[in-house]
Chains A and B, each alone.
Chain A
Amino acid sequence: MSLSQNRKGDRLELDGGRFRVEAGPALKRAKATETLLSNDQTAEHYQHGLPDAKGEEITLGQHFHYLDYLNPYVFYLYEKVDVDPSDPDSPYHVPEGSVTLRDDNVDVSKYTYVYEERGAFETEDEAVAQAERLAA
């Protein structure tokens, strides 16, 4: 199954925007060591005592998450899924009368869909192939 493609800058949109493929640093998990935290191995903002890529404090000897900016980027695949801002159980629920529901700003204060990650791939073609499998 071949999906329609539309390139927008660095991003590839498939099937009318149902899927997006975008390059970025790979998310990795590893044990924090002085060697790995050195600036020639990981980005300089990953240091003992500072937040990792998931906001958890990095502790030497413990596992942490980091974005690998220093090696070739991977291709993330995202799929558009509907969310219901009127559902009180949804994290995207925006209560009526909320101070953020300004008339001039409705488009950015209430989400009706979000893009969920469907994996990271070494090549753009692999990400596209996975989108085609998901759409089949």
Chain B
Amino acid sequence: MTFLNDNTLDNGLAALKAAADKVYICSAEPATYTAATSTNALGNKNFGAGAVFPSAIAAGSPSGRKLDSAAITDGSVTATGTATHDATVTSGSSRLEIAQALSASQAVTSGNVFTRTAQTVRLPNLGG
């Protein structure tokens, strides 16, 4: 692995921090923006640009730089199904930013609220 200056890592995370605005829960791992926001979407939380990741970029562990997301306390469930993944998107440019598995699958019912704990995005550097 090649050493990367923190400034390089920070600029990658800064782009994500500035642009991302919505988090979706999905019935499968989305391959595209459309899959995340429509085909596989079971619910969403609209934070607004810059609010998905309200924290400052900080040192990661064991290496690199990290960014913490806000927790979700009042996400809208829009379809009944089993949520297995979540996706963070930038809706203005129709960009799928992050797709990841939930810590456990969860049956959800349309019209209810979903919650999610804060998540950490880390870009590793030398040291893994």
Chain A residues with a Cβ under 8 A of chain B: 8-11, 20, 22-27, 45, 50-55, 67, 76, 78, 85, 91-95, 98-102, 105, 108-111, 114-117
Contacts and interface: CB of A to CB of B under 8 A. Distances in A.
Contact of B110 (A91, A102, A116): A91
Nearest to A117: B39
Interface in B3-38: 22, 27-29, 31-35, 38
Contacts of A8: 94
B63 interface: no
Contacts, number: 107
9 contacts: A25-B31, A26-B31, A52-B29, A94-B111, A95-B111, A98-B111, A114-B39, A114-B41, A115-B38
Contact of A10 (B22, B29, B94, B113): B94
Contact of A53 (B29, B32, B46, B80): B29
A22 B46 CA distance: 23
Contact of B35 (A9, A24, A85, A93): A24
B101 A76 contact: no
A92 B79 contact: yes
B89 to A, nearest CB: 12
B105 interface: yes
